Amino acid sequence: MTDEELKQRRYEMVRDDIRARGVTDPGVLTAMERVPREQFVPERERNSAYDNRPLPIGEGQTISQPYVVAVMLELLRLSGNERVLEIGTGSGYQTALLSYLAQEVFSMERLDTLAQRAQRILTTYPNVRLFVGDGWQGCPEHAPFERIIISAAPPSPPQALLEQLGHGGFLVAPIGHQPAQRLVRIRRVGSDYQEEEFGGVSFVPMV
């Protein structure tokens, strides 16, 4: 497919697989119209970049399904002024979307090869900083974060991340083991953490 055809497919994906399925946040929809997903998938998957499904990105990991990415980004309720911590950079696709939706994005990946590949693609996104490290520890040197998003599923919300969440902030993550993984949003109110659930999802485990 040519760049022009892929662009066409991108608009169709946003219209048919994202907007038509109930995502309304204009910032999220615009960001998805702007970020070329084909840059973040392996070359042989280029023509599948706008299929609404996860795709392999190497190391046994996958780039998440666009619809699920959109739902999670909408749940974050970003206004554009936030500092966001993302755990599980993976391909860097969601990181690129976050860069349009937040002030600053700190993204952490445990696998060096994936982090390096993402780094090369994300050089044109100036408000993104990538770290290789263990997401269970988060990024205490840059905390607190107004928002935290986890792209791999921990059995329960990591304590360090709850502590690094700013007051009034939201953490969005898939929580639990298959087949009982749930999309969860946690809001910090003082020392209190309020949890809401948004249905079943299927993510690689957080290790």
Residue 114 engages ligand SAH in binding (rule: CB under 6 A)? yes
State in angstroms the smallest separation of the CB of 170 from ligand SAH: 17
- 91 binding ligand SAH? (CB under 6 A): yes
121 touches ligand SAH by CB under 6 A? no
Catalytic residue among 64, 91, 99, 107: 64
Interface with ligand SAH (CB under 6 A), residue total 24
Residue whose C-alpha is closest to residue 94's, from 115, 123, 116, 73 = 73
Residue 84 CA to residue 191 CA, distance in Å, equals 20
- The two three-digit tokens of residue 148, written as one number: 């935290």
Using CA atoms, how far apart are residues 175 and 159, in angstroms rounded to an integer?
13
Q: Does 91 participate in catalysis according to the annotation?
A: no
* Distances 107 to 31, 61, 126, 193 between C-alpha atoms, Å: 18, 16, 13, 23
Quick check: helix, strand or coil at residue 22? Answer: coil
Interface residue with ligand SAH among 108, 122, 172, 173 (CB under 6 A) is 108
**What is residue 188's three-state secondary structure?**
strand
State the Cα–Cα distance between residues 95 and 84, nearest whole angstrom.
10
Query: Shortest Cβ contact with ligand SAH: which residue?
Result: 90
The correct pick among 13, 68, 152, 201 for binding ligand SAH (CB under 6 A) is: 152
- Regarding 177 and contact with ligand SAH (CB under 6 A), the answer is no
The CB-of-107 to ligand SAH minimum distance in angstroms stands at 9
Q: Which residues are catalytic?
A: 64
Interface residues with ligand SAH (CB under 6 A) are: 57, 61-64, 87-88, 90-91, 93-94, 108-111, 114, 134-136, 151-152, 204, 206-207
